[in-house]
Amino acid sequence: MYSWAMTLKQQCSTLWHSPCPLCQAQRPLNQLICSACWAALPTPPAFTLDPDFTVLYAFYYTAPIRELILKIKFAHSLADTQLLAQLIALRLTPQIQDKPDIIIPVPLHQQRLRKRGFNQALELAKPLANALDCPVSTAFIQRIKATKAQSSLPAAERMHNVQQAFALLQPIPYRHVALFDDVLTTGATLGTLKQLLQTHGVERVDFYACARPLL
């Protein structure tokens, strides 16, 4: 009984005094990160390409967001994945006026998925989907071609690289789809996916992402 009580007390004390995962300063229990780190997160202004195509980025791809993404990609840090996913949901949810019917993460090719073990875009989109009360699913679109990294190609070859890179796995019973990726997706990839969805009856396609490069 005594040891149980001590354990509980220690657990409570750990929770109340948890350090901020970004700067190690003390943070309140009900906050993911401390107020100073939250205020300092690099946030781009919201913008809309046209009224029918909303593009939202939660953050700029710079410290500390860049470091979190790299730790997720290369160290497969689950704690960092959950932290960044919650931060994305907090940042994007208030900006989304026209809620999508489903969030579809940009798919990875099976080879890359096997190598990495998880699709980080799917993991990062889950709390946002939860906050918007819509499903998030990778069951609809498949990457059928292991495309070369877009950044390694000249602009003229990028469109060719992604054409026919994706295929629909089953009919999409949704009117409004939001695609989601961890970092900026090239215009060519986004255009190809948007066209694929619209060809199969989706009326509206938006795009949300964790981070875009700092220009």
Residue 83 found at the interface with Zn ion (CB under 5 A): no
CB of 26 to Zn ion, least distance (A): 9
Q: How far apart are CA 208 and CA 191, in angstroms?
A: 14
Of 20 and 134, the one with the shorter C-beta distance to Zn ion is: 20
Shortest Cβ distance from residue 56 to Zn ion (Å)?
24
- Classify 118 in phi/psi space as left (phi over 0), alpha (psi -120 to 50) or beta: beta
Based on CB atoms, which residue is closest to Zn ion, 38 or 60?
A: 38
Give the total of residues touching Zn ion (CB under 5 A). Answer: 6
**Site map 110..139 versus Zn ion, x via CB under 5 A:** ------------------------------
Which C-beta is closer to Zn ion: that of 39 or that of 75? 39
Q: What are phi and psi of 118, to 5 degrees?
A: -160, 155
- CA atoms of 105 and 178, how far apart (whole Å): 8
Q: Which residues contact 197 (CB under 8 A, 6 or more apart)?
A: 141, 172, 177, 205
The answer to whether 56 touches 89, Cβ cutoff 8 Å, is no
Q: Is 55 helix (H, G, I), strand (E, B) or coil?
A: strand
Look at phi and psi of residue 36 and say left if phi exceeds 0, alpha if psi is from -120 to 50, else beta. alpha
Nearest approach, Cβ of 21 to Zn ion (angstroms)?
8
Binding mask 21-50 for Zn ion (x = CB under 5 A): -xx-x--------x--x-------------
State the minimum distance, in angstroms, from the CB of residue 27 to Zn ion: 6
- Residue 35's SS3 state is helix
CB-wise, 25 or 146, nearer to Zn ion?
25
- Contacts with Zn ion by CB under 5 A lie at 20, 22-23, 25, 34, 37
